[in-house]
Amino acid sequence: MLRLRLATAALDGAVCTQGHIPFPPGQVWDVLGDLEGELPRIVPLMRSFRIIGIDDRVMRTHATSVLGCRAYFDVRLRDRFLLMQSRCVAVGVAVSPERAGTRLMLVFWMPRPRQARARAAFATLLAARSRVLIERLDRRLRTGGPGRGQVSGPGPAEDAPGTKQP
């Protein structure tokens, strides 16, 4: 959590949303850490998320929205901490124990200076979408939890020509 708090304070235009989920951190992380199986279920507008390669503790991934938009992300997944970065957006997620459950923190940041107007325009939208993600995560945990309960291994690279499989 401290990493994300520092990032939020240091990054101009970063949007931070926090929430409490009444499940243990390990159970919450089982869902969040299953990138291919669970992220499309809980991230608003995400249709698919595929791991296409792993290189030195960094996963190369491909996301597709329900509208057909595609993005490649470099993902660093650590115990209860996730950092995803594409060329247009960075996303951080952290969980920690709190009361009878888990504190969840989400940070979104658009790193390109030329997108300053877009950052301001999307701040309200990102905060609202973050709250939806937290609500979907809570609902997913209440209705049965993770599909596989673990981080998926490398998947097929059909969507990324020329990408090497590990």
Q: Could you tell me the CATH number of the domain that includes residue 96? A: 3.30.530.20
Whether 111 has a pLDDT exceeding 80, the answer reads: no
pTM: 0.76
Q: Is residue 128 part of a domain?
A: yes
Measure CA 73 to chain center: 10
- Residue that has been written with the tokens 């009444």 in this structure: 22
Residue matched to tokens 């993005």 = 71
Q: How many CB atoms lie within 10 A of CB 36?
A: 18
pLDDT band at 148 (very low <50, low <70, confident <90, very high): very low
In a domain, 83, yes or no: yes
Residue 161 maps to a domain: no
33-73 residue pLDDT tens: 999 999 999 988 899 999 999 988 899 999 999 999 999 99
Order of strands, edge to edge, in the sheet holding 90-98?
15-21, 101-109, 90-98, 81-85, 70-78, 58-65, 46-55
Task: Determine phi and psi for 90, rounding to 5 degrees.
Answer: -120, 140
Structural domain that includes position 49: 2-141
Higher pLDDT, 111 or 80: 80
Has residue 32 been placed in a domain?
yes
148 falls within a domain? no
Token output for 139:
């609902």
- pLDDT confidence of residue 115: 63
Q: DSSP secondary-structure letter at 53?
A: E
The percent of residues in the chain predicted with pLDDT above 70, rounded, is 73
Check residue 149 and give its pLDDT: 39
Q: Total domain count for the chain?
A: 1
Report the DSSP pairing between strands 15-21 and 58-65: unpaired
Among the residue ranges 23-27, 31-35, 40-44, 145-149, the one predicted with the least confidence is 145-149
Residue 72 within a domain: yes
162: in domain: no
Residue 155 has pLDDT above 50, yes or no: no
